[in-house]
């Protein structure tokens, strides 16, 4: 059976060869099912076709913006070039994982069979520099933040333990059966929300005479919010709640890099507000807004007794 399997490995050559054809994400997804599904739902997969990117580039007329939205199928140490084919896949698998004819990553394969050439480069894939090739402004903020900071991957590719491949049927069953689960990062590239931001944003509320002092401390090694281009703004809202559950907005402020109101890396936001006498608690909400009304993420939503 092994001989038959090895003989069939020629069918995997298209995953590592770039000529008139382009290694497509769907072909990687035939074996790496979970990773492909995560990527397909991420902003990376839609980086080139995003309608807001189309508007900003006049339907891709501004070519200097395309490099990081449809990068070449090659791992580079600098800003990648734009690729000539398959651009609709955005930041696709081989944009980060095709390295000198091998599909590379941070982990040693756990199985005995390698259907395609594999490279193991943890020093590259666990370093923020691979993200900084395109996210240059945020990467500089991260670099300037100093030692001891978490990497992009630790926050935006949350850890999961699973097998690298999940394919079924034929020779794939043989490959999967010989693997064992290993810790790895999800390919979601997502922004952590209120149910997973513990330790990232600290909140402290102190009573001050007839009011309260609100302090938010960012533990992030970049600005909050951050990003080189596009529209993103945080709305911070403090609401007083009385014994009947009625809410009264005390302050509502927008935080954005363009307005110079973003919270600095490892920085603090602080306000003192007057509280109605019948207040029993204070609700603090921090929400991230993007282009569409429905593009809202709760980064913090906490009720603090007074």
For 210-240, write each residue's pLDDT tens digit. 899 999 999 999 999 999 888 889 999 999 9
What domains does the chain contain, in order, with CATH numbers? Answer: 2-185 (no CATH), 201-305 (2.60.40.10)
177 pLDDT higher than 80: no
Confirm if 197 and 218 have CB atoms less than 8 A apart. Answer: no
User: Averaged over 32-39, what is the pLDDT?
Assistant: 96
3-state secondary structure of 255: strand
How far is CA 151 from each of CA 91, 138, 141, 264, rounded to the nearest angstrom? Answer: 19, 11, 12, 17
Mean pLDDT of the chain: 90
pLDDT computed for residue 44 by the predictor: 97
Residues in the chain: 306
Most confident range, picked from 16-20, 28-32, 140-144: 140-144
pLDDT computed for residue 171 by the predictor: 66
CA distance 265 to 218: 7
Confirm if 276 and 195 have CB atoms less than 8 A apart. Answer: no
User: Averaged over 81-92, what is the pLDDT?
Assistant: 94
Strand order through the sheet with 102-105: 98-99, 102-105, 118-120
In the structure, what pLDDT confidence band is assigned to residue 1 with cuts at 50, 70 and 90?
Answer: very low
Q: Would you tell me how many other CB atoms lie within 10 Å of the CB of residue 227?
A: 16
pLDDT computed for residue 295 by the predictor: 82
Q: Which of 20-29, 152-161, 171-180, 181-190 has the lowest mean pLDDT?
A: 171-180
pLDDT computed for residue 159 by the predictor: 95
**Count of CA atoms in the C-beta half-sphere (13 A) of 303:** 8
Cα angle 155, 288, 194; round to 5: 55
Q: Would you tell me how many other CB atoms lie within 10 Å of the CB of residue 74?
A: 15
In the structure, what pLDDT confidence band is assigned to residue 5 with cuts at 50, 70 and 90?
Answer: very low
User: Averaged over 269-292, what is the pLDDT?
Assistant: 93
102 pLDDT higher than 90: yes
Confirm if 252 and 304 have CB atoms less than 8 A apart. Answer: no
pLDDT computed for residue 39 by the predictor: 98
Confirm if 66 and 87 have CB atoms less than 8 A apart. Answer: yes
194 pLDDT higher than 90: no
In the structure, what pLDDT confidence band is assigned to residue 16 with cuts at 50, 70 and 90?
Answer: confident
pLDDT computed for residue 10 by the predictor: 47
Query: Of all residues in the chain, what percent carry a pLDDT higher than 90?
Result: 71
How far is CA 85 from each of CA 60, 74, 172, 192, rounded to the nearest angstrom? Answer: 14, 13, 29, 32
Better-scored residue on pLDDT, 10 or 265? 265
DSSP per position, 175-196: HHHT---EEEE-TT-PPP-TTS
In the structure, what pLDDT confidence band is assigned to residue 67 with cuts at 50, 70 and 90?
Answer: very high
Strand order through the sheet with 201-208: 201-208, 211-218, 268-274
pLDDT computed for residue 165 by the predictor: 87
Confirm if 186 and 158 have CB atoms less than 8 A apart. Answer: yes
Confirm if 197 and 288 have CB atoms less than 8 A apart. Answer: no
- Residue pLDDT, tens place only, 118-172: 999 999 999 999 999 999 999 999 999 987 889 999 999 999 999 998 877 766 6
CA distance 265 to 267: 5
N- to C-terminal Cα separation, the chain: 69
Show the tokens assigned to 107.
Answer: 């982990």
């Amino acid at each position: 059976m092994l001989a038959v399997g090895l003989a069939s490995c020629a069918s995997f050559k298209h995953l590592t060869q770039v000529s008139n054809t382009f290694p497509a994400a769907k072909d990687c997804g035939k074996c790496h099912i979970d990773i492909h599904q995560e990527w397909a739902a991420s902003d990376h997969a839609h980086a080139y076709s995003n309608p807001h990117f189309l508007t900003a580039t006049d339907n891709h007329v501004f070519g200097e913006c395309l490099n990081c939205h449809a990068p070449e199928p090659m791992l580079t140490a600098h800003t990648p070039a734009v690729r000539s084919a398959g651009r609709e896949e955005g930041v696709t698998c081989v944009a980060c994982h095709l390295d000198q004819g091998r599909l590379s990553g941070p982990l040693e394969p756990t199985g005995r069979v390698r259907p395609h050439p594999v490279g193991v480069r943890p020093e590259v894939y666990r370093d923020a520099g691979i993200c900084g090739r395109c996210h240059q402004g945020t990467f500089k903020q991260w670099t300037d933040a100093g030692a001891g900071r978490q990497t992009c991957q630790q926050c935006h590719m949350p850890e999961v333990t699973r097998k690298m491949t999940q394919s079924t049927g034929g020779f794939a069953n043989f490959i999967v059966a010989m693997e064992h689960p290993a810790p790895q990062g999800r390919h979601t590239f997502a922004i952590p929300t209120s149910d997973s931001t513990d330790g990232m944003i600290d909140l402290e509320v102190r009573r001050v005479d007839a009011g309260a002092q609100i302090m938010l401390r960012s533990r992030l090694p970049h600005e909050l919010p951050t990003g080189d281009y596009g529209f993103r703004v945080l709305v911070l809202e403090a609401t007083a709640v009385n014994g009947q559950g009625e809410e009264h907005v005390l302050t509502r402020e927008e935080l954005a890099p363009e307005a110079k109101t973003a919270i600095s890396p490892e920085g603090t936001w602080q306000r003192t507000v007057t509280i109605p006498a019948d207040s029993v608690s204070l609700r603090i909400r921090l929400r991230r807004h993007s282009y569409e009304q429905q593009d809202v993420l709760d980064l913090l939503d906490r009720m603090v007794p007074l």
